[in-house]
A and B are shown apart, each in its own frame.
Chain A
């Protein structure tokens, strides 16, 4: 098992694996989205307090969860890269960041669109919202930092440290509604207390969360292949790839 993991930590072995896996995750994401949206938009009942406006939950909660999960995944790969010096780790950290940034932005965007009708404000400087905004900036900072350093290994190291230090913000976001008095409501779903939501609403939201999770994995696997290609461009196995050969025929013609 461990040996297998180290086998796939080599870009040459990970590239074809990612190529096989991403369409699978993309199909799962599509199927789950259709299922989740159908449940959420056509089956789930109207909310007693928020009317139909509550349906924003089916994007807001999944993108917000994923914006935190992706950052933790980045921190995980960063730690692995720093300790074992595995070559694929830095590339995966880089491949995760754009999807994370998009989810963090969407969390703020859908939150603003939910806040306006329910609280009467697009934005408040409350602990939950502010810490999520910091997460968005951390993603942008990571992308800017790693793309500003030309040497890939040094960029990976610098990025890894930012990812690890920034990961401290994730529990702050998660517990912000407990630690401070916030306008943002507390968790409707908790690992310890279960859920306070109606059953269909909860199911639809969880299905959407898994759908976005699958989407993030598909996108990361797809993106890491481009990163591998560029970083390994001087090695023979890249030159031998059918897609590279096809492209060079195309370029010659």
Chain B
């Protein structure tokens, strides 16, 4: 272990803002991307189901 204490680790030798600003925003954006992708899948499923049900309701077999 190269760090003496947690605050030593946190301050990153005075570069804390820059180091944690890089890691933090990276983590946040990747988490947001995973969330967006999940939502896109739910939207896609909803879209597919809505069209299938509309087709059933019309009694048309255009599939």
Residues of A within 8 A of B (CB): 41-46, 51-53, 55-56, 59-60, 63, 98-99, 102, 105-106, 109-110, 113-114, 116-117, 215, 219, 222-223, 225-227, 229-230, 233-236, 238-239, 243-244, 247-248, 251-252
Q: What's the Cα separation between A234 and B37 when bound, in Å?
A: 22
The count of residues in chain B whose C-beta lies closer than 8 Å to any C-beta of chain A is 37
Q: Nearest Cβ distance between residue A36 and chain B, in whole angstroms?
A: 12
Q: Nearest Cβ distance between residue B55 and chain A, in whole angstroms?
A: 9
- A225 adjacent to B41 (CB under 8 Å): yes
> Nearest 3 A-B pairs (CB), nearest first?
A52-B13, A53-B15, A226-B44
**Main SS at interface, chain B:** helix
- B25 adjacent to A239 (CB under 8 Å): no
Q: Which residue of A lies closest to B47 (CB)?
A: A230
- A52 adjacent to B63 (CB under 8 Å): no
Quick one: which of A43, A98, A105, A114 contacts B2, CB cutoff 8 A? A43
Chosen A-B contacts, 21 in total, with CB atoms closer than 8 Å, are A41-B9, A42-B1, A42-B2, A44-B2, A52-B14, A52-B15, A53-B13, A53-B19, A55-B19, A56-B22, A109-B25, A109-B26, A113-B22, A114-B22, A229-B41, A229-B44, A229-B45, A239-B48, A244-B45, A247-B48, A248-B49
- A215 adjacent to B22 (CB under 8 Å): no
Q: Which residues of B contact A53 (CB under 8 A)?
A: 12-15, 18-19
Q: What's the Cα separation between A41 and B23 when bound, in Å?
A: 11
Quick one: which of B14, B50, B63 contacts A234, CB cutoff 8 A? B63
- B45 adjacent to A247 (CB under 8 Å): yes
- A51 adjacent to B47 (CB under 8 Å): no
- A239 adjacent to B63 (CB under 8 Å): yes
Q: Which residues of A contact B1 (CB under 8 A)?
A: 42
Quick one: which of A46, A113, A222 contacts B18, CB cutoff 8 A? A113
Q: Nearest Cβ distance between residue B39 and chain A, in whole angstroms?
A: 9
**Contact of A244 with B37 at beta-carbon distance under 8 Å, contacts A51-B15, A53-B13 already known:** no
Q: Which residues of A contact B12 (CB under 8 A)?
A: 52-53, 55
**Contact of A233 with B22 at beta-carbon distance under 8 Å, contacts A42-B2, A102-B33, A223-B37 already known:** no
Q: What's the Cα separation between A55 and B33 when bound, in Å?
A: 24
Q: Which residue of A lies closest to B36 (CB)?
A: A98
Q: Which residues of B contact A60 (CB under 8 A)?
A: 22
- Among B40, B44, B63, the most chain A Cβ lie within 10 Å of the Cβ of B44
